[in-house]
Amino acid sequence: MASTTCSALHSLVVAAAVLMVLFPCVTSSSALSSLHEKTTRSTAMPPFPDWAAAYEGGDLFYASDPLPKGVLFPQIANGYIGTFLFADAMFVSGVFNGYALLPDRRAAIPTTAVTVQNKRSTIAYALNVRQAVFYLRYNVSSGSRGRTTDTVNVTVEERFYAHRTLPNLMIHEITLSVPEFSSAAGEVALASAGIDLSADISFATVPYPSDPSVHIISGQTKVSETPTSGLITVTRLNSVINSSSSVLTIPPGQTLNLAFFQVVTTSLDSDNTLQDAISNHTFAVLNQDTLLSSHVAAWEELWNEGSISIEGNLELAQAVNASQYGILSSIRDDWPYGLSPGGLGGPAYQGHSFWDMETWMYPPLLFLHQSLAHSCLMYRFNRMTGAATKARENGYAGLMFPWESAFTGM
């Protein structure tokens, strides 16, 4: 494990500086700061004891209502799939739409959402970068819906994460709890929403009557990057709320745990995207009690491979940890499709890989996470044919990697 205090090694200080300037635009680091800066920097620690240690260690970013105008929510990603919280699109690393010279862009896959319909109290928001989990905590009143004689307070925690070891899964968990001393059961209404349209992918609904709790769409990207690179098939399976299960009852002293999924598979790594999406969903449903713990354990292992520990300067620790989280959540050692300056969660820079990858992102990865550094190199290595073609077309021998590149490297 490569971890030390900031004064121990000059090279780690340099790496910290590299991490801090990694994402100069609207990415995980700046979004975390936006979520965080007008609350925790001027107030006390988060109001929940189980958040305190992570906050003091620079690993947790916290805010509460009312949020600042124009707040940016952070990236949730696992190196294969990513989104910015509450955005209307998610993205898969390596899936692009459009002709290379126009240029092409990372293809947007529409997101879906399950929401609590009851009136909420003040919401507490937190991203734990060590866990790569985004939290919402608040209370709702079920009596306000007119279904109980007395007002019953229900405690709600929502968790959002892109599973680290099950890369096709975006997970949303909701925990509902009613105090033991409550005079009646609590009732919480849920609803699901989302669209199936994408400017980049020609989606169509896939009937799946055997499981009414899911909705499936599948289609191909609209324009290939080159005449020979081909279109990419994308399938999205997501959980839906049926009318029969839209209102949930939680007895006094009981807790109800729910899990909702968005599963994305593509022809880049699947010969049957529909069947693989269904298989991924089935596995998630059967193992939903252990999904969070296995995800957190995988991220703990990742941080233990290499990290930068800063003592005595919380703001600096948060900046460095946020930036390293931005890198780690945007790349995998088993999926060598490059690193974009905008991260994996959004469309910034079209999702392309630039010289920034080798200049700014590769050095700290080489020091702290060699397998991820290798993934950066493999992105270039696998595109040597395109680089050789580009060199010949411009009258040069050898390899000519473009200023920015996507799937083919042209």
Q: Do residues 111 and 89 make contact, with C-beta atoms less than 8 angstroms apart?
A: yes
pLDDT for 39? 39
Q: Calculate what percentage of the chain has a pLDDT beyond 90.
A: 77
b/e string for 157-167 if b means 16 or more Cβ within 10 A? bbbbbbbbebb
Alpha carbons within 13 angstroms on the beta-carbon side of residue 331 total 30
Q: pLDDT tens for residues 391-400?
A: 999 999 999 9
Q: Which of 20-29, 233-242, 341-350 has the lowest mean pLDDT?
A: 20-29
DSSP 337: -
- Residue, of 242 and 257, whose pLDDT is higher: 257
**Domain edges within the chain:** 10-405
pLDDT number for residue 244: 64
Which tens digits make up the pLDDT trace of 271-314?
A: 999 999 999 999 999 999 999 999 999 999 999 999 999 999 99
- pLDDT value, residue 148: 43
- Long-range CB contacts for residues 312-317, cutoff 8 Å, separation at least 24: 313/6, 314/56, 314/58, 315/41, 316/6, 316/16, 316/58, 317/57, 317/58
- Is 10-405 CATH 1.10.10.60? no
Please write the tens of the pLDDT for every residue from 10-42.
333 333 333 433 333 334 445 554 455 433 343
Residues with Cβ within 8 Å of 387's Cβ and at least 6 positions away in sequence, in order, are 380, 399, 400, 401, 402, 409
Q: Which is higher by pLDDT, 40 or 210?
A: 210
pLDDT band per the 50, 70, 90 thresholds, residue 152: confident
Residue 8 has pLDDT above 70, yes or no: no
Q: What is the pLDDT of residue 143?
A: 57
